[in-house]
A and B are shown apart, each in its own frame.
Chain A
C-alpha cells in the first residue's frame, strides 16, 4: 500500500488492521484496487455495507468496494512454526450429545482456510455405535495424533508434529505423493487436485504452515487446529463458530478446555462423561476426545435436513 493523505484511508486502515484475518476472506471486486493512486475516483461505492471493529473498539460501517483484502500475514517464520509453542499440549473435546449437524464449524473452517467448494477439513458424519443404538452426528477433524501415521510415512518431512502436539503440513515441501492420505486411518486429509481458486493477493503470499494459506496445487491439506489462532491465545474457528458448544479446546498441561462460553477441567470432563478417542486400538493416540452422545435433547432427524450433499 502506498502513502497518500486521505482521512478516510487512515481510518479504514485502522479498521483493517484490527479485523485482519476476517477481512482476508471477504474479497470485494477483484479487478479494481481502490487504493491505487488516483483510485478514489474510480472505485465506486457498491452500496453494500460491512460492519467492522476499529482499533478503538468502535463498530464502523464501510462500503464493500473500499475494502482491500489484507493477507493474513503469517505470525511467525516457517522454522518457528515447525517448533510450536513450548510448554503447551493442545487438545480438543467434542461433545457428541450437543451436535445437531448445523455445520457452522464446517463453514467457518472453510471460510478461514479458503477451502474450495466440496473440500472439507471438518466433516460431520452420521454414526451408530451398534445396530440397536440411536444414531448420532459426529464431527471429525484431524485428530492431531501423538503417534501420527501420516508423519511416519511422509518421505520428505512435509508433514510434521510440533512440541505442542499440533500436526502441520509444509506445502512448500510436500511432493504430493499422498502416502499420508493412505496412512491416515481417519481419512481427514484433503488433496488439492487442481489449482486452488484463490484471490491473487492470497495466492501470491508466502506459504505459512500455521495458517495453511495459501493452499497449493498438488499438495495436501488438513485441519491445522488453527495454529495461528492458538498462538495468539484465541480459539480455533470451529470452536467459536458452533452455537451449541460442541467443541471445547484447550491445553492439557493447564488441564482446562473451553468452548468459549463454559470452561471445564479437562481431566474431570473426560472422567465424568466417559470421554474416549476414536479407534484407540490403532495406537495413534489422538488429541481429539469425544464425549458419548448421551442425554440428547434433540432427535437425530432434526439435523437431517441440514445434510445436503454437495455434488
Chain B
C-alpha cells in the first residue's frame, strides 16, 4: 500500500467485504451455469454411448480432454507461485494477490481431477485407482500428487481466511442468514488471540514450504505421463522443466487477468494498484522468456538432427498440418506478450491484462500441440484403419465438455469470490499499520 493515502480501517472493511452480485454479476453467473449445463448434457451422452461420441480414435487416443487437463494443472501452479514463493521470499506487495491466486489454484485443480474422470472410458471404475492402484504407473503418481496439492491448496486458502472470518461474522445483516451460518461453521473458533495467530502463522509457513515441491512434482509428473513413453515428440528429457516453465507463465497470466477483472468489478483500485500490474508485468516477461528458452530447447535440437522417427512429427509442426496452430501458440503465448510488456507503457493495467489473455490462449493451444501431433505420428505407419482415424478434430461433445469445465472453473472462482473477501482484510489492515507508521 502506498504510504501517502492511508485508508481508515472501517473503510477497508467496507471496501473489501464480499459484495452481492450486481446485474452483470448475475448475467455472468447465469451464462456460466448455462455453459456448464450444456457440458453436463454432453457428458451424459458420452456416458450413455461411450467415448465414441468424441472424435478420438485408436491413434489419437487422447484428445482435448487431456490437453485441458494439462492446462488446468498448469494454471493451478500459480497458487504456489504467488502464495508460497512470494511469502517465503518476503515479497510484501504480493499479499493482495494471494487469495486470488489460491482461489484460482483450488478451482483449477478441482477441474483437473474432474476432466481426468471425464476422459476415462469407464468412470464408474475410478475407485480402482485406489483399490488396485500400482505405484509403478505415472498415473498413480499423478493421483497422489494432485490429491496432496488439492488439500494443501485448500488449507492455504483456509488458514489466512480465519482472521477475516472474525470480521465477516460482525456483519450478519450484510451477509444474510445462510452465509452467516456458514462463516460461523468454518470460523467461529477463531478468537484472534496471539497464540492462535502464532499457530496459524506457523502452519501457513509450513504449508508454504510443503507446497513448492508438491507443485513442482505435480507438473513434472504430468509431463512424465508423456515423457515415459517412447513416442517421437514426447521422448524428451526436457519435458519436466519445459512444463513447469509453461505452467508458471500461464498461471501468472491467469492472475493478472483476474486482478484486472476484480479490480474493475469491485472498484479495488486502491488495493490492487498500477504498481501491482507493473510488477506482475515484469514477472510475466521473465516467465515468457524463460518458457521461450525451454521451447527452443525442446524443438531446436531435434530439428537440427532430424532423426528419422521424429522427422514427420517435426515437419508437421513447423510447416505441415499443425504449423498454423504451432506458430500461433508461440507468437501469442510468448513473443507478443514479451514485446508488449518490455515497454513501460505496456505494463499499465490494460495491456498487462491483454498480455495475460494472450498468454492463456497461447498456452491452451500449446497443450493441444503437446498431445495431438505426437499421436498422429506413430512409429509404424497408419494403415488398415478407417479414414476417420487419421485426423482429429474434436466433436461438439468434446468442445462442450471442455468449455463446460472451463466455465465450471470460472464458476467456482466466482462463487468463492462472492463468499470470501478477494483481498485479505486483516492482512491489509495490519500491513497498513506497519507501513503507515
Contact = CB atoms under 8 A, between A and B. Distances in A.
Contacts of A155: 129, 133-134, 137, 139-140, 143
A76 interface: no
A149 B51 contact: no
A18 interface: no
A14 to B, nearest CB: 39
A125 B125 CA distance: 35
Contact of B137 (A154, A187, A189): A154
A167 B120 CA distance: 22
Interface residues of B, number: 46
A32 B310 CA distance: 55
Contacts of A124: 383-384
Contacts of A153: 137-139, 228-229
A98 to B, nearest CB: 18
B59 A311 contact: no
A155 B226 CA distance: 14
B50 interface: yes
Q: Point out which of A106, A173, A185 has the most chain B C-beta atoms below 10 A from its C-beta.
A: A185
Contacts of B58: 181, 187, 189-191
B121 A176 contact: yes
Given A181-B61, A187-B378, A190-B58, A176 B133 contact: no
Contacts, number: 143
Contacts of A194: 49-52
Interface string B43-61: 0000001111010111101
A176 B120 contact: yes
A282 B230 contact: yes
B385 A118 contact: yes
Given A126-B383, A310-B386, A178 B140 contact: no
A6 interface: no
A111 B121 CA distance: 24
A126 B381 contact: yes
> Secondary structure at chain B's binding surface: helix, strand, loop or mixed?
loop
Contact of B121 (A154, A183, A218, A278): A218
A51 interface: no
A279 interface: yes
A186 interface: yes
Size bin of chain A's contact surface? 35 or more
B387 interface: yes
A35 to B, nearest CB: 32
Contact of A311 (B62, B375, B386): B386
A175 interface: yes
Contact of B380 (A156, A175, A186, A282): A186
Contacts of A278: 380
Nearest to A195: B50
B134 A186 contact: no
Given A176-B120, A282-B230, A193 B380 contact: no
A173 B132 contact: yes
Contacts of A157: 132, 134
B122 A175 contact: yes
Nearest to B136: A152
Q: Point out which of B54, B230, B381 has the most chain A C-beta atoms below 10 A from its C-beta.
A: B230
B50 A185 contact: no
8 contacts: A125-B380, A126-B381, A176-B125, A177-B121, A182-B231, A193-B56, A311-B386, A311-B388
Given A173-B128, A192-B50, A310-B385, 16 more contacts: A140-B380, A156-B129, A174-B121, A174-B122, A174-B125, A175-B121, A176-B51, A177-B119, A179-B139, A182-B229, A182-B231, A186-B380, A187-B382, A190-B58, A191-B51, A193-B54
Interface of A: 106, 118, 120, 123-127, 140, 149, 152-157, 173-179, 181-183, 185-187, 189-195, 217-220, 278-279, 282, 309-311
